[in-house]
Structure 1
Amino acid sequence: MRLEGVTAELRPRSDWEAVDLGLALVRRDFWRLFASWWLGMLPVLALSPSLLRDYPVLLVLLCWWWMPVGSRLVLFVLSRRLFGELPRWKEIFRELPRACVRRFGFRMLWARFSPWRPLTMAVEDLEGLRGKEYAQRVRLLLRRGDATVVMLALWRAALTGWLALSVFFTAMMFLPSGQAEEWKALLDAWKDDSWGEIPAAVGWLGLVSMLLSMSLVDVFSTGAGFGIYVNHRTWIEGWDVELAFRRLGNRLRGAGAALLALLLAFGMTPAAEAEVEAGPKETIEEVKSHEEFTVHAVEERVPKSGSSSSWNWDGSWLVGIAQALMWLILSAFVAFVVWLIWRYRHLLRGSGGVAAKRVPPPQARVVMGMEVAPESLPPDIPAAAMELWRVGRRQEAMSLLYRGTISRLIATGGVEIAESDTESDCLRRVTAEAAAHAGYFSGLTETWMRLAYGRSAPPDEAMQELCVSWPFAEGRAQ
């Protein structure tokens, strides 16, 4: 992953702004993503029609169940395109077998019904996490806007059905008048609660409408989930800050290189280049290669008379399968509602009765990978930091002062800082919960980030001032 090659603006966004970012990424390369999705469905579409050509409902269900494979190819292209790499079709074809078999049981059985699939799929495929690490990473990402991901899943289901019906009935409006009786036969078959004989043209139209709807909605929903994933990592890991410091460093290095090139250029004389005109043969070949001079051949195949087919359905066992599927979906929906009630039960508690005591969260011992536990710090933090600064270990000195400040804010200031908080998150919490120390901590945070990310060390006087004015020294007012 190369942040300097990113092709979109990385900045902290709200959840719905992140969804809009994902949709914009899909629109930029829509046809490549759309074709990649259908490439993922190729194994099912190649085998199923010969086995299920008389049962389009089962064929649609099988394609719906296989959709995560197409989503993985869409995510494969999106993730590399964001960081400046456009995968070739050869690479996408090479990714297809892995998308089909990687963690097949987990993805196609348990995770297939997860409403957070567009987000968790990015954790699994792009970060390669498994087991406990995967679960911890997903919980960390879902701290922000898990309701947005669930709402996105509900919209995905609604849009799929609405778009399928729209395509179906719009296409029926353009059917020739001679096929009106086939449409009437279809309505009568459903009205009489019997499957009957459905004309082949109408059956294929319904099948194509549903597949087209699923493909369009899934491509865009995968992009929306990827946008949420990128936004969450920007909030947690500070991608925008890191990218800004890298660009600043590149500009400074570029200025020095330009000055050196200017000095060297004074001692060089430009070499004259001879222009070689293209001969008449090359000019003719170039003109003939244009699209206007390309010969196109159109081959028309006329079907033999009497070859039209219709689907004769035996509904004796298919009705039972449909009913079982209906009860399965209903049971899954009820279980999902019960899980939502249990998951957000704290929002449903009434204000009457004895209020439940709020259990304070455990104090963080590691923040951004840095030890902040009191036993890991020296007794006199400013003196130890100043000693490290004098011997030239400047980043260690600033890190010690920053860690010590966070440790004291957690222990004595009552600030609830989580292990996953970034520098910006810590500053917001201190400003909201410990206003007395907000000014000092703001200056310390700015100095620390300049040294840690931009390799810009403050003057000795500034470091000494931070140590002298440290608000948690003994005898100083809190």
Structure 2
Amino acid sequence: MKLEQLTVHLRQRTAWEAIELGMALVRRDAGAVFKPWLLITLPILLLLNALGWALDLIGLAGFLMWWLKPVFDRIPLFVISRAVFGATPTVRETLAAQLRWGWRPMLHYLTWRRLSPARSVFLPVDLLEGVDGARLRDRRRVLGGSVYGHAALLTLLCVNFEIALCLGGIFAVMLYFPLELLPDTLRDAWTLLALQSPQWSRVALNLLVWSAVTVIEPFFVGAGFGLYLNRRTELEAWDVELVFRKLRQRLAAGASGVLLVLVGVLGMHSDVARAQDAAPASEESVESPTDDRLEQVFADQFDDDRRFRKAADQAHRDPDLNRTRTQKRWEPKTREEKEQAPREQPTLPWLQALAGTFAFIGEWGLWILLAVLVLALLISAPRWLPWMRGAYAPRVRIDNAITTQPVDLPQTLPADVASAARRLWKSGQRRDALALLYRAGVVALARQLQTTLPPGATEAECLRASRRLPQAEDRQLFAQVVRIWQYAAYAQRDPDEDEFEALLQQLQQRGGWLA
């Protein structure tokens, strides 16, 4: 692993900062992530839905696409794990790698680990480190133990985002329906999706779920990789190791210069020795040129040493490397510490008395309040005690006074509905007359719309159907019939004689309603 090639700034981050780092990696290499994702997942989606259509198991096709998500997660993980070291793979390389890379742990992730809430953190451990057995379990525990809760919460958030995108796609279709038809649209949508869903609607639902997963899943994998990268930085001190590697490179680059200086110094010493043998001189005349030349030769090295000390002092002042911190906490004093503690200075007597009063009220205030309430109840007992008499007496059960009256109507409508309704009205059977008018109106509504209303259709369903009548007068008249019938059937409010006759005349004038 070449840490020098990392394209991110290594430092110890919080878990949420690490999640944001992983998502930023996916955004940076979005093309390299989403292109192979589409080239692999879309054909599998179409193949599974085609088989499901042929076998009438489209729901199973959608379930299999959801269950195979750990297999698809290898795509973004392969890309960002290489791109973080500056080697972003091409689409061809990513597609070729999916044939041989990362299949060994998939048996676990497609069986008992499929519903693991920390899959995003454990997947890089299994696919990138190449360990197994007890060592793999130890690595999973060490790397994922402290961020297990963050990974589980990340999974929950991503699932909620996928559900929100699916619901948003469903309700976005309903935005194109007129507002007055929205109740019927919602009912038809529920029938279409849950009760009597055709195959094309289930295929569309699978496509919608796949689209939501395509948007969210790569970021989910990237966030887990960010947690994994941050945990390795914390445990293995990658940031410190990277600083020392850079320092070693600088020293190695300066080693050749040091060798040249040593060769020059040795040659200089040989020249001085030959000069001394040829012409002896005084001590000052020999050492002064030598010292000046040494100072000139080692001047660069002295400067490097000063720069190194400056860099080391700056590194020690770096808060990322100096992890010391001050933490304060409250601890109870022991008896010896209390005795050794300095005594407080005496205060004024009246202030001490006031403090004692507040302390007594704070300690015994609730008990005093309870005693005052009990005393007040005992004193006022002659007034409120008579009210309590009979409170615990057995209650007398009153039978329900609601009575029902069946409406006896013929199986077929009479030839003259208006005359039959007047006859029932005059004989005192007002509810039967209004029921006959309502039934005749429903039959006429179905005839004018050339449709068949479902058996047991409610008044609200008939009113919604009446909105399709071409004439506004017919819609208003049918709504008036339904309203008068509802008042009589549910509120026991019968119309008067004049209102009933006016309704009959309107129905007769709008030919076809009482035929």
Which one has a bigger Cα radius of gyration? 2
Normalised to the residue count of structure 2, the TM-score between the two structures is: 0.46
Greater relative contact order: 1 or 2 (C-alpha under 8 angstroms, separation 6 or more)? 1
TM-score for the superposition, normalised by structure 1: 0.50
